[in-house]
Structure 1
Amino acid sequence: MGNDIVNNNDFGFFVVGLILTAIFAFMSLFFWWKRKRLRDLRTLTLGRLTFLYLFCLLVALNGLLGSMLVLTDGGRSIWLFLLGIEVVVFMIFSMFLGLVIPLGIVILTVKMWRRETRTVANLLLPIVVLFFLVIDGIFLAMGNLPEHWQWLSVLSWVFPLLSLYLAWQFTVFFLSSWVYGRRTRKLEAAFHVVLGAGLIDGERVGILLGNRIKAAVQAVRDDQTIVVFSGGQGTDEKVSEASAMQKYAHEELGFPSERTLLEEKSRTTYENLVFSSELIKARFLFFTSDYHVFRAALFAAALGLEAEGGRGGKTAMYYRVPAFIREFIAVLNTEKKKHMIWVATIIGLLFIITVIQLFLYYYVP
């Protein structure tokens, strides 16, 4: 009789697990289909759908594994063991995100500051990271407040909730960039536009810009492709970035000058894309540094340009990580009104909860 009850319970767990697995498997398939159906990959929706697809897939796989194991001898023990491993992996991953990555950003940014331009702007990221670590320590200390100060503990949840919101936005941006890069690898076009960057000593192409040019030249598939070098002459430059890039491509990479065009008016990424599009009046691929590709693609989408694909030249890790974070901040800034509304909503809700708690503490016996 006891074994029958155990078996019935096992079968019940199996059925419930199988139903939940089917639901999440269907949801995963739905988000995957929605992602494949996106007509334009130059959108943060790409990252949101990718996250939902991966999350539902993970839940479905766990549900399937649990459903199968629950019917086997000792299945529950194995399931709990595997679940324990998953929890440990999640904790390690969380520690990696919360401690290793922030410290890594500080180290890499300081390294970039020492090897590149020594400006205060290049030190802003480590300052912000250290500020977050200090605030995190203050938040943890809030748990030991006396009872009449508990309202302050509630209000302090602004920090973890806003951090969670920021982490979600970064995850969406990262996944969008990653998937966009993979999906546009094999795209081809008759024109390759190389976005300019500052010149060394006002006339020479540096490593960062050189890698953009190499990526554009190496992606050429036939002798009909035209490479467009886009970049004007800055106040501290002796020649235009476009002409310096053309010279580099011809002298260093052996690319024929007659298969190049120069766009020498632009000063920003926005102008690079707009003026190059006006010059060639055709669909094109653009080439920039790997960390900058997706934001440039968002620019192109906002402008309605036929720059449907972008690729990146390789960048040193010490430069790429801090630069990618700056790209993320720049993208946040393009939708600052929306983010300010969300931040105000989160703070407002916590403030209301705090007021209610104070009222209950002082006026309700």
Structure 2
Amino acid sequence: MNRRHCAAAAVTLVCALALLTAPVQAMAAPIPEPAPTVPASPPAPVKKSLEQVRQEIDTLYRKAGAATDAYNLAEEQSKKQSGEILRLTKAIADGQARIAELKSRAGAQAREQYRNGGLPAGAQLVLSGNPSLFLDGVNQVRQGQQAAKGLLTELTRSQEDLETYTKDASLNGAKLEANRVKQAKAKKSINAQIDAAKKLESQLAKEERARLLRMEQDAASTAQSAWLSSGALSDINREASAAGRQAVAFATAQIGKPYVWGAEGPGSYDCSGLTSQAWAAAKSPIPRTSQEQWRQLPHVPVQDMRPGDLIIYHSDASHVGMYVGDGSIVHAPRPGRNVTLAGAGSMEILGVVRPDR
């Protein structure tokens, strides 16, 4: 009886364990799918005021002006280096020809000595028993020694010069390539700034563009009035020099011609192209760019300026105009504008330079 009870208990225990260890399939509640998200509407673009557009366009053109100065400077340096490379190339060719000639002369001397048993003609006369021939031989030996020494010295100098010319040509070639890279970079920047400014203008309606032009003129007029009110013009009454009169005559004759960056005339100009060509016409060449004009030409106080002097504008010296008297300048303003007269104080003045003393 006890055995039956034990067996039954064992079976019961095994069944219970089997039920406990069997996998249980839980019936989880279904997870609801997330509701589709509706994208938020982008905020409506804030419409810029016309004054903001004017200032943005002005900034873009000023940046283009600075890049134009960098381009013009690189171009001037490239021209100089190209000319120097041409000069050095000719010097190298001349040097090579000279060395070839000297080597030929040295070879002729060596061959002559070989034919004379290794002795120059003068040395043979020295060994002669004839006193007269002996003296002649001494002189010829001395002359031959001097000639040989001079030939060797000239050959050495020519070879050294040739090495110098070659190094200089290589150096100028590297500088030329560097300036070409600068030009390409500046050109890309110029076009990007001008294209951005033109795009802004093109988005304006016709009447807005007309208002924009009036706002530019009003801003220039306000700045000029403030400059005149400061008393800046009260002491400016000096006469132009003879060269200054010629420069002013040339510059004012270009009024109405379009601004084109990098242009030096005769059909179009950028700001420093106009001033540099005007002074070239007055037989007083000056640097090509406004920044170099500011850096290299003598500075004079504003109150001492006279017609023909150049007024440099903005803190980066990126613009220049020529003072023509009565508080006015002639200048090439920017792309889309023509050479014109403007108030000398209509822009931020950095200083004044004088091309002729």
The normalised TM-score by structure 1 is: 0.21
The normalised TM-score by structure 2 is: 0.21
